[in-house]
Chains A and B, each alone.
Chain A
């Protein structure tokens, strides 16, 4: 935690967060006086999800999504918390940068979508061509901007040229200068109502999308693919695909176990908010689910490292995902029932 100042002298506290979008949203609310945590934003914004998209490839690896589409968490959270956001995109980089400067001068802090590959301050292991990385611009400084990137521990300086490059990258991974800030927030939002909406939405997303690649069905689809992968692709290639999957579970700023631990943290906070024993129990269930995903990651790592453990097989790795699917199906069905009993 470190304290910085915005352009108008208002203090801003940089918090290290597990996931860029939720952490930025939480920071924007905190700056305006509503102390709301990252897990709460995640839950209210219905961030938890699953999608297996075999035909979408990023850096030659298929995409497995453990959260909903980038941009939806903060939009839904802002809506449900009654905040007034200004959202803008730009075609012209100059215009985008100049308006950023104006908004910052007015004393706002601004959330920006950037392409992670082009941010000058990241290291090789973070450097992916991905256009949905959210950061906060605090104020303009000599030759650049002071940036709070919640994925990292401390605020950093970023050159103006570097930031412009990261905000405007030609091609499909172009954030198009996407920026957002809170015009006003509701200082006393109805948190209970927001949580209920968030939870109901998540249950729908995980249980009721009629396509085989989303939700619990998607997990089973992926599991079957993994079980067959060694025979179909050969050991090396199957390992590469497995590594790609584990990367989405653990590496892409999920806070561990594909956001499941973060959701368990949300369940815990919600159980205190509602005084609900049901939610407390569900929090523990979600922790178990997170642990199972973590087991899958560890087993996959053992397969990749060829540790020669008899139980580290593709069949068992796929089996663990099937177990997750069963557990998550039960979880969201129970959550649906529990939510009906909650009083807003």
Chain B
């Protein structure tokens, strides 16, 4: 199955306005082709991005914080606001050697902001 059709067969269609033969507007659930294509591109891109970051974490180039921030669709500025930590510090914490030395209180803030349990925050899935 095409990737587009795959992600659109989630059983949760949306409705769209369409002109019927009499020129009146009705609702239908067929997603426009353009939506499927762009959605597929974006979701594939998100998944690829996340996977790249996961590999970088396992290779020791990025900290697990980077992975979970990406997973929650946040960027350093958003995460900084959510965790109550200055943006420049958040960016530093994306480095694995700095992240490894973080105090539990700081990790706790990230854990609450990202809604990831503290223990999980320290590693990424191995799959």
Contact = CB atoms under 8 A, between A and B. Distances in A.
A-B interaction: yes
Interface of A: 16-18, 39, 57-61, 117, 122-126, 128-129, 151-153, 165, 169-174, 239-240, 243-244, 246-247, 249-251, 253, 255-256, 261-262, 264-265, 268, 284, 287, 294, 297-298, 300-301, 304-305
B10 A255 contact: no
A305 B37 contact: yes
B4 to A, nearest CB: 10
Contacts of B43: 124-125
Contacts of A298: 32-34
A294 B37 CA distance: 13
A128 B15 CA distance: 18
Interface stretch (B53-61, B68-76, B118-126): B68-76
Interface residues of B, number: 43
B25 A151 contact: no
Contacts of B39: 125, 247, 251
Nearest to A305: B37
A188 B35 CA distance: 39
Contact of A172 (B12, B33, B38, B81): B81
A250 B35 CA distance: 6
Contacts, number: 130
5 shortest interchain CB distances as A-B pairs: A171-B82, A297-B34, A129-B73, A123-B10, A261-B17
Contacts of B77: 172
A126 to B, nearest CB: 7
Interface of B: 7-8, 10-19, 23-25, 27, 29, 32-35, 37-39, 41-43, 45-46, 49, 72-75, 77-79, 81-83, 112-113, 115
A122 B11 CA distance: 10
Contacts of B29: 16, 153
Nearest to A61: B42
Contacts of A16: 15, 27, 29
Given A59-B46, A246-B34, A123 B12 contact: yes
A285 to B, nearest CB: 13
28 contacts: A17-B15, A18-B15, A18-B17, A39-B25, A60-B75, A117-B72, A123-B7, A123-B10, A123-B12, A125-B8, A125-B10, A126-B12, A153-B12, A153-B29, A172-B77, A172-B81, A244-B38, A247-B39, A250-B34, A250-B35, A251-B35, A251-B38, A251-B39, A255-B16, A256-B18, A301-B33, A304-B37, A305-B37
B17 A247 contact: no
B23 to A, nearest CB: 8
A125 B47 CA distance: 11
B78 A124 contact: no
Contact of B38 (A39, A57, A165, A243): A243
Given A129-B73, A171-B81, A268-B25, A153 B38 contact: no
B82 A265 contact: no
A151 B10 CA distance: 14
Given A170-B113, A246-B34, A247-B38, A261 B78 contact: no
A255 B14 CA distance: 8
A291 B23 CA distance: 14
A265 B15 CA distance: 14
Given A57-B75, A171-B81, A265 B25 contact: yes
Given A250-B38, A301-B34, A304-B38, A256 B16 contact: yes
Interface centre among B8, B10, B19, by most chain A C-beta atoms within 10 angstroms, is B19
